[in-house]
Amino acid sequence: MVSVLSLLLLGFFLGMRHATDPDHVVAVTTIVSRERTLRAAAPLGAIWGLGHTLTILLVGGAIVLFGIVVPPRVGLTMEFSVALMLMLLGGLSLARIVRQTRDHDAAAPDSGHERAHAVLFGLDRRLGRFGAYRFVRPLVVGVVHGMAGSAAVALLVVGTIHDPGWALVYLVVFGAGTIAGMLLITTALAIPFAYVARRFERLHRGLGLAAGVSSLAFGALLAYEIGFVQGLFTGNPQWVPG
């Protein structure tokens, strides 16, 4: 019993550490960059962690209970969805900032690049009319990130805890640690954004621009890594959950 409780405690702290993965931090930074107050931004990390935990429980629980084997191409596809999500977040962030700096009465953009920004901004603006959107957005991002991490977490549990009941408890505790860790990270990230938003509008937009570019670039690099280095788009996919 003591060893199991120790393992569960370890799972909580591993969940907190899991929240610091680079793709997680980049995604949450991009989401937080649009908020102007600490009160509005801080809870978004916990909502992200909740979405992440839901996927961990659903996918990881199925692997633990039914011994499902995830094929390499399926595993890579789940991870590739994170790359797409990061690029989408970055694109939406950049589109919002570009449109904020333009005259709203200006003529419609002519270039394909500007039209792409306009489409992304229009999508974000239409969805933003719904009050729940600002909470649904981090929840969905967390769900997508959980898809990429659930197999690795579940396989670790299966190799360590042989009782399915305790294995499920571990997944819950791991998820709770992820929520706590992401709440702390989001709060820390939100402080400079909130401070700058109240005093330096141009600098706040600059930080948002940096967050959007980072998300777009990191997502593109991750997509290349998964698609061609690890072989999702080749005939020899190599996937090691981790």
pLDDT > 90? residue 179:
yes
Residue 116: the pLDDT is 46
Q: Across all residues in the chain, what is the average pLDDT?
A: 84
Q: What is the pLDDT of residue 37?
A: 86
State the pTM of this model: 0.84
Could you tell me the end-to-end alpha-carbon distance of the chain, in angstroms, rounded to an integer?
28
Q: What is the mean pLDDT of residues 118-141?
A: 65
Task: With H, G, I as helix, E, B as strand and everything else as coil, classify residue 176.
Answer: helix
Query: Does residue 21 fall inside a structural domain?
Result: yes
91 is a domain residue: yes
- Whether the pLDDT of residue 117 is over 80: the answer is no
In a domain, 234, yes or no: no
Burial of 22 from C-beta contacts in 10 A (0-12 / 13-18 / 19+): exposed
Q: Can you tell me the mean pLDDT for 139-159?
A: 85
In total, the chain counts a number of residues equal to 242
33: pLDDT strictly greater than 60: yes
**2 found inside a domain:** no
Q: Which domain holds residue 192?
A: 7-67+82-229
Q: How many domains does the chain have?
A: 1
Would residue 102 count as lying in a domain? yes
On the question of pLDDT at 107 being above 50, the answer is no
pLDDT at 103: 47
Query: Between these two residues, 96 and 107, which has the higher pLDDT value?
Result: 96
115 pLDDT higher than 80: no
The torsion angle over the Cα atoms of residues 19, 20, 25 and 27, rounded to 10 degrees, is -40
- Tell me, yes or no, whether 73 lies in a domain: no
Residue 22 Cα to chain centre, angstroms: 10
The one-letter amino acid at 60: G
3-state secondary structure of 46: helix
157 to 20, 59, 145, 177: CA distances (angstroms): 20, 13, 19, 15
Both structure tokens of 110:
């002519």
Phi, psi angles (nearest 5°) of residue 159: -80, -10
Residue 156 lies in a domain: yes
* Backbone phi, psi, residue 101, to 5°: -90, -5
Evaluate whether residue 30 is within a structural domain. Answer: yes
